[in-house]
Structure 1
Amino acid sequence: MTESPKNASQEELEIVLPPGAEKGAVRDNLEVICFAMVLILFFKAFVGQQFKIPSASMRNTLMIGDHLLANKFIFAQPQWAWEEKLFPMRAVKRGDIIVFRYPIDRDQDYVKRCVALAGDTVEMRNKRLYVNGKQVTGPFEHQFGQSPEGPTPGPWPPQRYAGEAEHPLGLWRHTDAEVLALHDHNQIQGMNSLIQNGFKDQLGPITVPPGHVFAMGDNRDNSMDSRYWGFLPMDHLRGRPFIVWWSFREGDTDNDNGHVPEGPVDVASDFIDAARHFFTRTRWDRTGTIPE
């Protein structure tokens, strides 16, 4: 029996799928999800990471509830010359806002400003910062950090009133060796005693040792920084914030500290709170800005 023209036409139109094309929708979607997760993990580990500001230590440069995207490879140490040419890597500079692992608890991330590099001489004199004998100040430096109205921006020349400086008992000038000993994490109790006597407002002069930087918060009266826990090792650096992708006031006022989630329940609670108050608490004027 001869084949009818209709059946022959159907055979000619039959599409033969390539090997592996019939793997099914479930497997196909799982592969897409796995690939996306690999990309996200790679991006988070080597390119950029999201951070949230929970405290007022950098106010008003960074506000409580600012969500930052940090460039993680800018301070990386290139192993080959082509890396430095291909990627925008560089050494940390004075004035950079930096994200780093807290030296006393490396599971925590801190955000401060690098004010001095290795070899620089640092001195706090009556609440003013001096690096290599010259005062460092500007609009980024804020005083009266715990006032209800928020901190007041600089600059703060010596003749401008910046509040009463806390003076430690006796002579406040310490040698480099004494400060290094006080910054030893095994002697935190001794450091706390000195801090209570005004260590944050009167310090040095001291020299930043090799392989370290000196970090301070812009909100000088309300910042736990190198004045308290010592010099920051360079290998603790994680990156530099380059954009505030979202700014969300987490409380009724800008003075309310943010909440750091510690588990899935906290993450879900933060998500619900953000959804409820998204339009009323989002700082639209800060969202999308570049911190400097």
Structure 2
Amino acid sequence: MAQTNNNWLEAFRTLGLSAFLAIGVRTFVAEARYIPSESMLPTLEVNDRLMIEKLSYRFKTPQRGDVIVFMPPDEARLCTGETQKQAYIKRAIGLPGDVVEVKNSQVYINNKLLKEDYIQESPYYQYGPVTVPPNSYLVLGDNRNNSCDGHYWGFVPHENLIGRATVRYWPFNRFGTLD
């Protein structure tokens, strides 16, 4: 009889530890996300599944070109009409202190043309010049003309960052890193 109780206790411990580790990993290390819109075409397609790495931005800041996941500021609801806050995924373009301008269908950072071989098409709009505030980022979708992004609603504070998209794991034929 003691062996049966011991087996139940061991099973309970194993399940408890597994749940604790799963919650801990998802909260602090990595989590899976999917792409719900066309705002990041051609880099990311609707229903792509990604692994989001959450540790690096605790120790360093995003780099220009990183594909980041974040909670949008309240102003983002102006162009989406969303009633619930959902995480967004966009590309970090403007870093703290940068002067960003979109003119003549191209993005300029500190008066230098930004080479962008990842966008769907050149932007049809004009924007800025604006200076990115401290501890904030300007994010834009790769599908510039069809993205509710920072050119509509402004900047993302560092504390809103969730993590960096690192790997697409679905569909299998597009498996790979997002460098």
For the residue of structure 2 that corresponds to 1:142, the secondary structure is coil
In the alignment, structure 1 segments of 5+ residues that lack a partner are: 1-19, 77-88, 144-161, 166-200, 248-283
User: Highest Rg: 1 or 2?
Assistant: 1
- Hey, which of these two has a bigger chunk of strand by percent? 2
The number of aligned residues is: 171
Question: Post-superposition shift, 1:244?
Answer: 0.8
Deviation of 1:50 after TM superposition, in Å, equals 0.8
Q: What does residue range 111-130 of structure 1 map to in structure 2 within 5 Å?
A: 111-130=89-108
Answer yes or no: is 1:91 the counterpart of 2:61: yes
Indicate the residue corresponding to 1:63 in structure 2.
45
| Equivalence for 2:178 | 291
Q: Offset of 1:285 from its aligned partner?
A: 1.9
Amino acid at match of 2:160: H
Identity %: 34
Unaligned 5+ segments in structure 2 are 78-83
Name the structure 1 match of 2:81.
none
Pick one of 56, 79, 104 that aligns with 1:74.
Answer: 56
Pairing of 1:1-12 with structure 2 (within 5 A): none
Q: CA deviation at 1:126?
A: 3.0
User: TM-score under structure 1 normalisation?
Assistant: 0.55
Query: Equivalent of 2:25, from 39, 43, 55?
Result: 43
- Greater relative contact order (Cα < 8 A, sep 6+): 2
Moved over 6 A (4+): none
Structure 1 position 26, deviation (Å): 3.4
**How far is 1:203 from its partner?**
1.3
Structural mapping, 1:1-292, within 5 Å = 22-76=4-58, 89-104=59-74, 107-143=85-121, 162=122, 165=124, 201-247=125-171, 284-287=172-175, 289-292=176-179
Measured in 2, the distance between the counterparts of 1:47 and 1:25 equals: 31
Distance (Å, rounded) in 1 between the aligned partners of 2:149 and 2:85:
16
